[in-house]
Amino acid sequence: MKLYKNINRKYTIVLFTALCFLLLIKPKFVVSEEILHFKINPINKVETNYGSPENTYIALYSAQLKKDLEWIFETHTTASVEEIKQSFKKANININQIVSYELKEKISYITLKKQFKDSVLLVVEHFYKDGEIAISPVTFLIEDGVWKKTNKFAADIEFQDNLAHFYRTIVDNLLDITYSGVRYNRRTRQFYSAVTITNTSDKELEGPVWLIIKKLQPEEASLANADGIHFGEPYMIMLGEEKKWPPGQALPAKTLYFSNPVKQRLNFDDQVFAVVPDEGS
């Protein structure tokens, strides 16, 4: 570049390296929704990095596993730490109770990242060894140039309304799922089948509605037009977020395209997630 033509090559490399480093550590504000499949692996305290909401959550997750109260507080905003301390003081409970509980064995994934006002919301799904599944919404904002967990939206009505759409439920018993016959497209070399899902219950459901394709066989096969991966299984979005699905209504049919290089018979199970609104909501 002309701007740098008179700079010594050595210093150009140093400058470029420094700029790259700054870009890596500078917190970025996310302005769009992202569906993720990010497994959380615990770290040691010396590996802590607050450069993104995900990294800060990993630090918090690890601090909870190690029952390190000081580290837990480091992952929170100053206001949130003060709020926690005051709530324990008011209840006359020892603050160390935060790390005194027994932790159940689990595997956790960050599954959604979304902007909410001046913060970023992460939705974390925990899969426990005993079969229990829990969903944790966690919000983060930038404080002093780094991402920290905030509790500022705990009483926010709009935030609570948003959370309803993250609690997906398996609704297979409320539906009828119909597939057309599987056909082969010689031009694309893919197998395809149309799927229609009908709400056969007396409940109004809401999006997002996901069709999960499970245990797809043969092993070489894959869902070519999947919208994403949910814990290792491909899924199709059948209905968008917050959209209504009245009783008796069939969602618009979608075509599933399968890559199947060995051309063996396709077999799979399915599962449907949707939002079931609270009674009276």
Q: Which residue has better confidence, 132 or 149?
A: 149
Q: What pairs with residue 176 in β-bridges?
A: 198
Tens digits of residue pLDDT in 224-233: 999 877 767 8
Same domain flag for 88 and 216: no
pLDDT digits (tens, 9 = 90+) for 49-59: 999 999 999 99
Closest by CA to 232, choosing from 80, 65, 37, is 37
Check residue 2 and give its pLDDT.
Answer: 38
pLDDT of residue 14: 40
Asked if the model's pLDDT at residue 28 lies above 50, the reply is no
Residue 185 is predicted with a pLDDT of 92
pLDDT value at 31 more than 50:
no
Which residues constitute the domain of residue 271?
170-275
Instruction: Provide the strand spans (E) within 95-249.
Output: 106-116, 119-128, 133-143, 146-150, 168-170, 175-179, 183-185, 190-199, 205-217, 222-223, 228-230, 233-239, 244-245
d(CA 73, CA 96): 12
pLDDT tens column, 241-281: 779 999 999 999 999 999 999 999 999 999 998 888 765 44
Looking at 119, 143, 166, the residue that finishes a domain is 166
Q: How many domains does the chain have?
A: 2
Q: What is the CATH number of the domain that holds 143?
A: 3.10.450.50
Peptide bond into 234 cis (omega under 30): no
The residue with greater pLDDT, 12 or 35, is 35
- pLDDT digit string (tens) for 86-113? 888 877 778 888 887 778 888 899 988 9
Is the domain of 151 the same as that of 215?
no
CATH of residue 243: 2.60.40
For 36-90, the DSSP string reads EEEE-----GGG---SSHHHHHHHHHHHHHHT-HHHHHHTB-HHHHHHHHHHHHH
Asked whether residue 204 is assigned to any structural domain, the reply reads yes
